[in-house]
Structure 1
Amino acid sequence: MHNRRKFIKLSAFGIPMLSSFSSLSRDFATGLGQEQVQPIVISTWDFGIAANQAAWKVLSAGGRALDAVEKGVHVPEADPKNQSVGYGGLPDRDGHVTLDACIMDEFGNCGSVAGLEHIMHPISVARLVMEKTPHVMLVGDGALQFALENGFKKEDLLTKESEKAWREWLKTAKYEPIMNIENKLYDKAAPRKLPGNQYNHDTIGMLAIDAKGNLSGACTTSGMAYKLHGRVGDSPIIGAGLYVDNEIGGATSTGVGEEVIRNVGSFLVVELMRQGYSPEDACKEAVMRIIKKKPDIAKKIQVGFLALNKKGEYGAYAIQKGFSYAVCTAQKSDLLIDGKSYY
């Protein structure tokens, strides 16, 4: 977990947006007599800060939440220093960088890709699956074929740094999960390094509400490092890694995806919010179900949920301490760790 330090707030980003956004916030209301809700974007881990800023450019201009979450997660997908998402992601045990992603809009439409290689932005391929096919998910070679047919460029996603880490891992080929290693990787006071005998199992999940009060979400990852070739986690699975119900809210997950899948975690969080749970309490209940079913496994892994309801309220909960998420509104851009502001 981060040491507590005071940082200069991201005022250079937040304040200029206020004047341009004021007319939108004055005019926006979810309905006559209902509480006014302003646009908001939230995302997992501290690399969500930069992703949120990209999403906010769309939201502050009155854009659709779906466009915002797609543009937002493009940032970590294209960052070669981020070894848990997209380009530069750590490979499977055979040296292949395989990507998983899904996206869901306010109408319940959704698209997904799994085991996709050679494409920089799997989230955009997932959106095309949603918008151009009758299907929800494409996988492996079929997903790659679809991407290439739709104008995506084939690229080598294995960076020198990730290949070096993989070759170092091959010397022992041991799985040694490190709790909340995402925070260690992206600590602003520390170099971004990942020792070869450790693995990262994370993702970026993003949820947003736009000026019309509509929700969308996106989730994208390179998956568990050094996994079996063909392994797919929760990230591209609707209801596990991501779920959005425009009447209630949305949820996304991060961590060891197998346990999220077994509990249909994100769908569960949204259904709990439907029953009246707050976002944080809904996330906590989903985590507690994982712990109750497999207490021995839960001691060794991290799983976290992040949720946003229709009112613009948000919250998160994770098995282990140190889970961070980023929040961006017209008034602030912040990082929270275990629910407390980091800035």
Structure 2
Amino acid sequence: MINRRAFLKSGLVGSLSIGSFTSLSSMAPFNYPNRSKKNAPIVISTWDFGVAANLAAWEVLKNGGRALDAVEQGVMVPEADLKNQTVGKGGFPDRDGYVTLDACIMDEFGNCGSVAAVENITHVISVARQVMEKTPHVMLVGVGARQFALENGFKEENLLTPESEKAWKEWLKEGEYKPIINIENQRFSPNKLPGNQYNHDTIGMLALDANGNLSGACTTSGMAFKMRGRVGDSPIIGAGLYVDNEIGGATATGVGEEVIRTVGSFLVVELMRQGYSPEDACKEAVERIIKKKPEKAKEIQVGFLALNKNGEYGSYALQQGFSYAVCNQEKQDTLIKGKSIY
């Protein structure tokens, strides 16, 4: 009689020898240029404003600090930058004139915190961390999130700057919402349009620290002139951000509704688990969006950014114009033009 355990073991080996080597041979190799030195810290983030954010995060990483602290400190820079009208204070309001902020954060243990539709609090990334560390919940929203922030020492302030209010009043003349692709990136955009209005940027940041641990953060003011109460992908774990310390992390930017529909960042991490490189995983996630809505995909922008456990990174977007920033021991202020489908 054949021993059951031996039979199962031989069957498993047989299946691996026949089927798995075919799929493994097609997997993208991990040995490619976009890589930090092994066991060396690295931080990457979306868009041009990621350069300054990375430098703040690097101050934590270069001194042996935790990736979680690095990403929080890093994204706080654009949250406080009044010239950045897509993140934090000074962000564009919704169509009723209210600035509402969304953010999430995730650490190496799978702990995560999130806030959405928060008014009058600048550093919502820190509120999200407090949700993660001080509550049994993952997400707080609206009035409840603001109340929680105030109870934990955050100060209320007016987030609507004169510049953003002026842009909103100008928009009210026609009241039409239509995202314009690629005006968010002036260096790499094929459409050199003036100003920084009507865009849908997010800062997503991923870091790997000297201990080999990953964390990520994502924060935004959302789509300019969105419907009151609209929340995109940025504060949603698995959509705008996902981290698995065994594999890697991913973050997204662009039209959040399409990222949510594909659970984009989780998808990228799971593709890396299967052996995809970060760049190839991001490309596949973008192609999933095209497969679902091929016509709409030509009119919007979505970009993914990923970092794996080996310190390898990559991105892919629907349209030209997406960029991401990299900071490690070799390069402190590098901005890279992301690849795109169109």
Q: Distance in 2 between matches of 1:177 and 1:280?
A: 26
SS in 2 for 1:70: helix
8 Å CA contact 1:43–1:325 kept in 2: the answer is yes
Give 1:1-150 correspondences, 5 Å limit. Answer: 36-150=38-152
Partner of 1:336: 336
Amino acid at match of 1:236: P
Partner of 1:203: 202
Give 1:232-243 correspondences, 5 Å limit. Answer: 232-243=231-242
The partner residue of 2:174 within 172, 175, 179 is: 172
Q: What is the TM-score with the length of structure 2 in the denominator? A: 0.86
SS in 2 for 1:184: coil
Q: Distance in 2 between matches of 1:140 and 1:192?
A: 33
Give the drift of 1:201: 1.0
Partner of 1:314: 313
Amino acid at match of 1:204: I
Give the drift of 1:200: 1.1
Q: Distance in 2 between matches of 1:133 and 1:321?
A: 41
SS in 1 for 2:184: helix
Partner of 1:251: 250
Q: What is the TM-score with the length of structure 1 in the denominator? A: 0.85
Amino acid at match of 1:249: G
Q: Distance in 2 between matches of 1:177 and 1:127?
A: 30
Unaligned runs of 5+ in 2: 1-36
Counterparts in 2 of 1:303 and 1:90: CA distance versus 1, 3 Å: same
Counterparts in 2 of 1:186 and 1:288: CA distance versus 1, 3 Å: closer
Q: CA RMSD in A?
A: 1.7
Q: Distance in 2 between matches of 1:171 and 1:192?
A: 19
What CA deviation, in whole Å up to 9, does each residue of 1:103-136 have, x standing for no partner?
0000000000000000010000000000000000
What CA deviation, in whole Å up to 9, does each residue of 1:252-271 have, x standing for no partner?
00000000000000000000
**How many residues in Structure 1 have an aligned counterpart in Structure 2?**
301
Q: Distance in 2 between matches of 1:92 and 1:318?
A: 26
SS in 1 for 2:237: coil
Give the drift of 1:185: 9.0
Counterparts in 2 of 1:140 and 1:266: CA distance versus 1, 3 Å: same
Give the drift of 1:339: 5.0
Q: Distance in 2 between matches of 1:211 and 1:272?
A: 25
Give 1:262-341 correspondences, 5 Å limit. Answer: 262-333=261-332, 334-338=334-338
SS in 2 for 1:230: coil
Unaligned runs of 5+ in 1: 1-34
Give the drift of 1:192: 7.7
What CA deviation, in whole Å up to 9, does each residue of 1:3-23 have, x standing for no partner?
xxxxxxxxxxxxxxxxxxxxx
Partner of 1:14: none
Q: Does 1:194 align with 2:193?
A: no
Partner of 2:19: none
Q: Distance in 1 between matches of 2:161 and 2:194?
A: 14
Q: Distance in 2 between matches of 1:36 and 1:223?
A: 36
Aligned residues with identical type, % of pairs: 77
8 Å CA contact 1:165–1:194 kept in 2: the answer is no
Q: Distance in 1 between matches of 2:174 and 2:150?
A: 36
8 Å CA contact 2:117–2:231 kept in 1: the answer is yes
Amino acid at match of 2:174: T
SS in 2 for 1:327: strand
The partner residue of 2:185 within 183, 186, 198 is: 183
What CA deviation, in whole Å up to 9, does each residue of 1:128-175 have, x standing for no partner?
000000000000000000000000000000000000000000000112
Q: Distance in 2 between matches of 1:151 and 1:279?
A: 38
8 Å CA contact 1:291–1:298 kept in 2: the answer is yes
Q: Distance in 1 between matches of 2:206 and 2:79?
A: 16
8 Å CA contact 1:97–1:157 kept in 2: the answer is yes
Give the drift of 1:181: 2.0
Counterparts in 2 of 1:191 and 1:51: CA distance versus 1, 3 Å: farther
Amino acid at match of 1:312: G
